[in-house]
Structures are given as C-alpha cells and as structure tokens.
Amino acid sequence: MNSSPLPRIIAIGSDHAGFELKQHLVSVLSKAGHTVIDHGTNSIESVDSPPFCAAVARDVRDGKAEIGIVMGGSGQGEQIAANKVHGVRAALCNDLYLAEMARSHNDANVLSMGGRVVNFDLAEQIVEKFLTTPFEGGRHERRVAQLAEIEQQEGGR
C-alpha cells in the first residue's frame, strides 16, 4: 500500500477461492499498521462463503470493525451474503473506479472482491482506494438513508 491510510480495524473473510488473496491482504494490511480480524477460511479446501461473510459483516455492524473485506471467486456471492446483515452496505469492487464510487456515493462499509478476478497488486490498490475515499455526503446521504429505510421496512419479513 503506497499511502497508508490511518490505522483501522478491518474484519476480513473469504471462501476457498479467495483464500490466497485474503492471506496476502492480511499480511499487507497488518504490515501497514491496521488491526485485522481474520474470520477465515484457513485453507483452499472447498467451503461455503456465507458464514465467513456474515461474520465479517456482523463485526462491521456491531462496531468491532470499521471496514469489512470479503472475497470469493468472483466476489458476487460474498457481497450478497454480507448484504444480508442489517446495516451493511457491501459493494463488489473489482476495479478502482467502483471502489471509489462505493465509498464516495454509497458509504459502503464492506468491500467485496473476486480472488479469481483481481491480482494481488490490483487488490491492494482497490483496498487502499476503499480505505482512503471519504463519503461525500450531500445528496448521497438522502440515498443512504433511503436504503436504511427499506432495510427497516423489510426487517420483519
């Protein structure tokens, strides 16, 4: 990571397809001074991703982590799983533009990436962009509030 953002508490998790990328990012983030809560998985043995993603998302929702990162083969299923946790706005960001927009316009608090889609270097850049891009607020605050309202309305179903 080139311009390391302020140290953060970051929850991270993956399935088997995202394991190698997760391991790489745990090392990079730790060396940059971040506290990393690793929810697994711990090998390339095939596993289902929802429990790992939900654990990351719950840490973010409950304030145990400031940001979450989930990974799988494409990142799509992991994003969906994380978004099932109330209060989470997970965004699939397999490029820099999406990472910037996820933070600046949607105040995303969980980053999802595909271990079979991005290489280590690009993943580091995406994480850095996600960590350093502030939420713009303004008109986007209204939209984020609307998402929370929908989530509240759907909570009982």
Q: In terms of residues, how long is the chain?
A: 157
The amino acid at 137: G
SS3 category, 27: helix
Q: What's the N-to-C CA distance of the chain in angstroms?
A: 42
Whether residue 26 contacts residue 32, with contact meaning beta carbons closer than 8 Å, is answered with no
SS3 category, 67: strand
Whether residue 62 contacts residue 73, with contact meaning beta carbons closer than 8 Å, is answered with no
Task: Name residue, tokens 């929802």.
Answer: 50
Query: What phi and psi, each to the nearest 5 degrees, are found at residue 43?
Result: -165, 180
Q: Rounded to whole angstroms, how far apart are CA atoms 100 and 41?
A: 27
Catalytic residues: 78, 105
